[in-house]
């Protein structure tokens, strides 16, 4: 029996993988174009669009004024007319200025036009804290958009998924928010060289097999969860399975449930606030679907429920980190203090 040869891969950073996805789709489809603040000559605040303005010019890579509501609205109009705009919002925090356009318009166009008009719009934006950017620039509220019917939301954690999910989003006929993470941009990983390799939207990935506890996370929290899983094995002999959600809407509950049914314990990790958050939704679904399988309550760990402080020591105290995740996992396993009872 013949065995298919493994596909060729190249090592690159998350930032480079996002850029590659946009370049490939710009070459593949003339209806694709980019919009955003300073994404052209300046090459973007995080240099994700480096080189694209020189290669494709000002029609395909469009500089916008500092007016998120205005240029997101323009992108929606372009998408309704059949183009495929990819909008960069400098940080997820700034998308609040365009909230009406995203939630009241992009998300509802297909429904309100009876399916006769679509909105193949992609908005990509970084989120997260850890860079002393204070309360208004360090938030992770992708849950606002995952809460909204009509929108799709993806949050890749690896360079391979960053490229594959962005390509899938650009080719999709619905509006999609692609949430990146400031801390993820420098991560390196293997990325398939196949220009048509895409990652299915709505499909989680088991990134580490285990038998004692399931860690469920997305975006940079999924990277943290993998590190913590290694620490649990090395320091405590614990076999932790990690499920990277990758897609927040649609949400792959089946993969999560299958994992928890095997390990009998679950901890949900979220870089946003836990109350009413992504982890709250996952916890609820696990508790219902795995009620008879659970050996302990499903728990969650997230950002301290305060505006992000500027002082470095306070910012560190507020953020989710590896130590907090490890302590929470040990608590769920009954191998450490019960940190959830207070």
Q: Which residues pair with 189 in a beta bridge?
A: 12
Which residues lie below 8 Å from residue 186, measured CB to CB, with a gap of 6+? 13, 14, 15
Query: Is the CB of residue 198 less than 8 Å from the CB of residue 171?
Result: yes
Among the listed residues 287, 161, 277, 176, the one whose alpha carbon sits nearest the alpha carbon of residue 222:
161
Q: What secondary structure letter does DSSP report for 232?
A: H
Q: Given the residues 25, 37, 68, 271, select the one marked as catalytic.
A: 68
40-47 long-range contacts, CB within 8 A, separation 24+: 44/88, 45/90, 46/15, 46/126, 46/182, 46/185, 47/15
Burial class (CB in 10 A: 0-12, 13-18, 19+), 341: exposed
Q: Given the residues 25, 137, 180, 299, select the one marked as catalytic.
A: 137
Per DSSP (E only), the strands in 113-232 are 122-127, 152-154, 176-181, 188-192, 205-208, 213-217
Q: How many CB atoms lie within 10 A of CB 113?
A: 12
CA gap 136, 155 in Å, rounded? 21
Q: Which residues pair with 199 in a beta bridge?
A: none
CA gap 212, 37 in Å, rounded? 46
φ, ψ for residue 231, nearest 5 deg: -65, -40
Per the annotation, the verdict on 147 as an active-site residue is no
Per the annotation, the verdict on 305 as an active-site residue is no
Catalytic site positions: 68, 137
């Amino acid at each position: 029996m013949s065995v298919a040869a493994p596909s060729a891969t190249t090592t690159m950073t998350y930032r480079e993988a996002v850029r590659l996805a946009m370049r490939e789709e710009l070459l593949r489809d003339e209806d694709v174009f980019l919009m955003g603040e300073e994404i052209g000559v300046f090459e973007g605040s995080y240099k994700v669009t480096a080189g694209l303005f020189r290669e494709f010019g000002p029609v395909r890579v469009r500089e916008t004024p500092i007016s998120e509501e205005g240029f997101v609205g323009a992108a929606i109009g372009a998408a309704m007319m059949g183009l495929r705009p990819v909008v960069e919002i400098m940080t997820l925090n700034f998308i609040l200025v365009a909230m009406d356009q995203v939630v009241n318009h992009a998300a509802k166009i297909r429904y309100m036009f009876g399916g006769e008009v679509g909105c193949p719009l992609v908005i990509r934006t970084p989120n997260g804290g850890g860079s002393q950017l204070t309360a208004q620039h360090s938030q992770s509220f992708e849950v606002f958009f995952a809460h909204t019917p009509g929108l799709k939301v993806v949050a890749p954690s690896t360079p391979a998924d960053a490229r594959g999910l962005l390509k899938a989003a650009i080719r999709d006929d619905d509006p999609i928010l692609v949430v990146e993470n400031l801390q993820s941009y420098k991560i390196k990983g293997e990325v398939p060289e196949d220009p048509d390799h895409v990652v299915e939207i709505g499909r989680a990935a088991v990134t580490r097999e285990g038998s004692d506890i399931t860690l469920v996370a997305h975006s940079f929290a999924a990277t943290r969860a993998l590190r913590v899983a290694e620490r649990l094995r090395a320091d405590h002999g614990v076999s932790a399975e990690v499920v990277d959600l990758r897609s927040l809407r649609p949400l792959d509950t089946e993969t999560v449930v299958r994992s928890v049914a095997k390990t009998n314990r679950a901890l949900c990790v979220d870089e946003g606030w836990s109350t009413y958050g992504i982890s709250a939704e996952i916890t609820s679904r696990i508790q219902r679907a795995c009620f008879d399988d659970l050996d302990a309550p499903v728990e969650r760990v997230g950002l301290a429920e305060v505006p992000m402080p500027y002082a470095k020591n306070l910012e560190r105290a507020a953020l989710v980190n590896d130590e907090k995740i490890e302590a929470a996992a040990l608590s769920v396993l009954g191998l450490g203090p019960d940190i959830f009872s207070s």
